[in-house]
Amino acid sequence: MATSDITMKPLGMRVKVLQVFRFVFASIFKIFCTLYYGKSGENFPPITADILKLPAVEVANKIRNKEITSVEVLEACKQRIKDINSALNCFVEDRFELALKEAKEADELIRGGTMTVEQLEKEKPFLGVPFTTKDCIAVKGLHHTSGVVLRKDVIATDDAVSIKLLRNKGAIIIGLTNVPELCMWWETHNHIYGRTNNPYNTTRIVGGSSGGEGCIQGAAGSIFGVGSDIGGSIRMPAYFNGIFGHKPSRHVVSNEGQYPMPQTELLNSYLGLGPMTRHAVDLKPLLKIMSGDNASKLDLDKNVDVGKLKVFYQLSSNAPMTDSVDPEITTALKKVVEFFSVKYKVEAEEKKFQFLQKSLPIWMTTMKNKEPFERLIMGKEGTTAIVLEIFKSLIGCSGNTLIGLFTALMDGAGAEIGSDKYNYHLKLRDDLEKIFVEMLGDDGVFLYPTHPTTAPYHNEPLVKPFNFSYTAVINCLGLPATTVPLGLSSEGLPIGIQVVANHNNDRLCLAVAEELDKAFGGWVEPRH
């Protein structure tokens, strides 16, 4: 079936009424948030160490060429974290003592001269470079809670595969960043470490579930970061915090060491670990390392001629129960389309895929796990147990977040694996994947909003819970996608888009990200 022939049934009256109710309620809630929080948040110091403003590849180059030591870079990160964390609450556990030992060893290796600069660049390209990762990705000797109170004493006994691969290439892990409870919400808050605040305005959210990581990268607290993404958990935090984040093609980067691990092959294909950085140029070398033996599938060293790409775009999903795309985001996307036209004479083709209206039900229905959600966060299961825990949460006596408990309720209400409804949405997903595969081929990219609004106020996602569908649907299709910052809104909050390519064509996303980084300025230092 040709993509132009795809049609959808009109929305039912019940859905239209719910849309109107949601819009009115969300509008009133935002007015309340504006009055409660005000327009400006808490201040923190500007970046004083210039090394923190550089791409990770440049930091690595300066370290191996003895222009700066690994210890000096580590100390700059430690000081920056000290400067920002009281205001942002993004960094939750350090391994500074071990990191200092590793930084000294890196500097001794370089001073010893047993390896040439060329050998170091080839064998340990990120030697001495400090980085961070989110709490749900295992780092040996550190807590591995995923924001779940039941896991507050769990210590990782080994590194996740991605962390191990990066450390083998010389990078130094310095600590963990905050996540939502069980990484299943797009505001970062849990009852172990609390809430994380946006570096561009601390009254706003950082996204989730890699929210702490997006925040620390946006505020320049570490040189690069590692996140994970099953419904937008890299791309939304990257977007809200003004940085680059890449969700790889399915089955490329190992999920081993992530908690919770998907219990079905379908869910495993949705989840992907990937790099989060302030500079687009860092994404490709980091992804190459994190992909391990699968890097050959991506052909990352193959040259990409951006001027010969086919470019497609869509301004909105028009999905029910989601916000309209902010005009400033639409304008930014159109400027990218114009950029391709002016610089490369590439005329982008606008799409209006009505199938994208089904993004949310496709993702939610096919996200079913074998183990009930409530068992993972409560240690018990059943609707009665969830309702009781919701009551306890409302009076401040629960270890679970309210949104975590509501998520458990929704999980129980979803279609059962193998049911007709479940199979129906799998079919929709398969049809949509075929449309994208046919359209993109090996030389196409799709430009699409990462999110319909700028970073909302704290708690505002509660009244607009389905806005994450813009990223979630890409996970369902297994496609690679990169969030690209495109400056700040009139309120001083980051805006941007995501760039999507076909399976294993991650290099196209990354090439476009680098091109747009140069053209539109990329990451902008938070100013207070």
Q: Which residues are catalytic?
A: 134, 209, 233
Q: Cα(242)–Cα(250) distance, rounded to whole angstroms?
A: 25
Cβ count near 318 (within 10 Å): 16
What angle separates helix 327-344 from helix 506-520, to the nearest 10 degrees?
100
Q: Cα(373)–Cα(317) distance, rounded to whole angstroms?
A: 28
Q: Cα(436)–Cα(277) distance, rounded to whole angstroms?
A: 27
Biggest alpha carbon–alpha carbon distance for the chain: 74
CA-closest candidate to residue 526, choices 92, 87, 132, 74: 87
Contact 136, 160 (CB under 8 A): no
Residue 429 DSSP SS3: helix
Contact 488, 283 (CB under 8 A): no
Cβ count near 511 (within 10 Å): 25
| Alpha-carbon distance values, 233 to 152, 187, 293, 414 (Å) | 22, 10, 24, 21
Q: Cα(66)–Cα(60) distance, rounded to whole angstroms?
A: 10
Beta bridge partners of 229: 272
CB burial class (10 A; 0-12, 13-18, 19+) of residue 264? middle
What are 526's two structure tokens?
């938070």
Contact 250, 478 (CB under 8 A): yes
Contact 121, 64 (CB under 8 A): yes
| Alpha-carbon distance values, 71 to 45, 99, 108, 110, 441 (Å) | 22, 9, 11, 12, 46
Q: Which residues contact 176 (CB under 8 A, 6 or more apart)?
A: 91, 92, 93, 132, 133, 134, 135, 139, 142, 143, 212
Read off φ and ψ for residue 500, nearest 5 degrees: -115, 140
CA-closest candidate to residue 284, choices 523, 501, 511, 519: 511
Q: Cα(115)–Cα(85) distance, rounded to whole angstroms?
A: 37
